[in-house]
Amino acid sequence: MQQAGICKGCWQQLRVPIVLRGPFSVPFRLVGLRPSRMNPNLCTLCEMMFTRIYKVQQMSVPATILFADVRGYTALSEMLDSPQVARLLSGFYETCGTAIWDRDGIIIKLIGDAVLAVFNFPVRQEDHPYQAVMAGIDLQRRCRAMKATLQETTGGDAPLGVGVGIHTGQITIGEVGDFCRDFTAIGSVVNLASRLQGAAEPGEVLVTEEVYRQVGDHFPQTQSRRCQVKGFEQPVKAYALGVETP
């Protein structure tokens, strides 16, 4: 992945160059400013903005939420031994991280074998729904490559697949921050993205009507389908984007 020399968030919003890498990063590290684990192109100050400050003073921002999770994981854990499963999972997180960070998203929380990413905060992006979709497509492409390698290792058909769900709207930062600790404090945008991910077939990037309206020009003639998702009475209109036939 592309590594930024200075924190993208601090530079974009404050015009302050926080050096993340190389010899000039030493004084910053001494005061605790390091690359964030949510996104190594951001610093720990940006991370704090997300996790602490906005918890006190709740703030609503437009953002796009991406959920990804591994399918066939249970079947795989029966086929592989535990070090192999651990390697597979860390490979998946690394793959997700690269795809998301390359598009300036941040990873809020890894829930079991799922990943939740936010786009448009703290790095602002005019086209955050598009960036999230492209990250999702890139993630699927990388996971297909991972699967091919895995099939060589296991010498058979590895039942590995990844489902991706994306929704966009106003999110409350405190809400997402709390989500780290409390799964029930999930907001409606985050909730629908998560449910849609559940409805996605392995290999699919499934997006809502709200997302498609903003990225449709890049994916013309995509057919919509109605998905019955948990917790929603009416079926949700969704679009599968960038699916390549294997």
Q: Single out the segment in contact with Zn ion by CB under 5 A; choices: 42-50, 158-166, 189-197, 233-241.
A: 42-50
CB 100 → Zn ion: shortest distance, Å?
17
Assess 35 for contact with Zn ion (CB under 5 A).
Answer: no
Instruction: Point out which span in 36-44, 58-66, 76-84, 85-93 binds Zn ion (CB under 5 A).
Output: 36-44
Distance CA 129, CA 193 (A): 12
Nearest distance, CB of residue 86 and Zn ion, angstroms: 31
CA distance 164 to 120: 18
Is residue 46 part of the contact set for Zn ion (CB under 5 A)? Answer: yes
Give least dist CB 47 to Zn ion, A.
Answer: 8
Q: Cα–Cα distance between 200 and 140 in angstroms, integer? A: 12
Q: Is 128 left (phi over 0), alpha (psi -120 to 50) or beta?
A: alpha
Measuring CA to CA, how many Å separate 75 from each of 67, 80, 87, 159, 203? 21, 9, 16, 7, 17
Q: Strands, DSSP E only, in the chain?
A: 60-71, 106-111, 114-119, 161-172, 205-208, 224-227, 236-240
Q: Which two tokens stand for residue 14?
A: 């404050």
Residue 211 binding Zn ion, by CB under 5 A: no
Is residue 49 a contact point for Zn ion (CB under 5 A)? no
Per CB under 5 A, does 43 bind Zn ion?
yes
d(CA 196, CA 164): 8
Minimum Å gap between C-beta 34 and Zn ion is 10
Q: Taking CB under 5 A as the criterion, which residues in 1-20 touch Zn ion?
A: 7, 9-10
Closest distance to Zn ion from the beta carbon of 225 (Å)? 40
Q: Quick one: which segment of 43-51, 93-101, 174-182, 218-226 binds Zn ion (CB under 5 A)?
A: 43-51
Q: Give CA–CA dist 169/129, Å, rounded.
A: 9
Residues that bind Zn ion (CB under 5 A): 7, 9-10, 43, 45-46
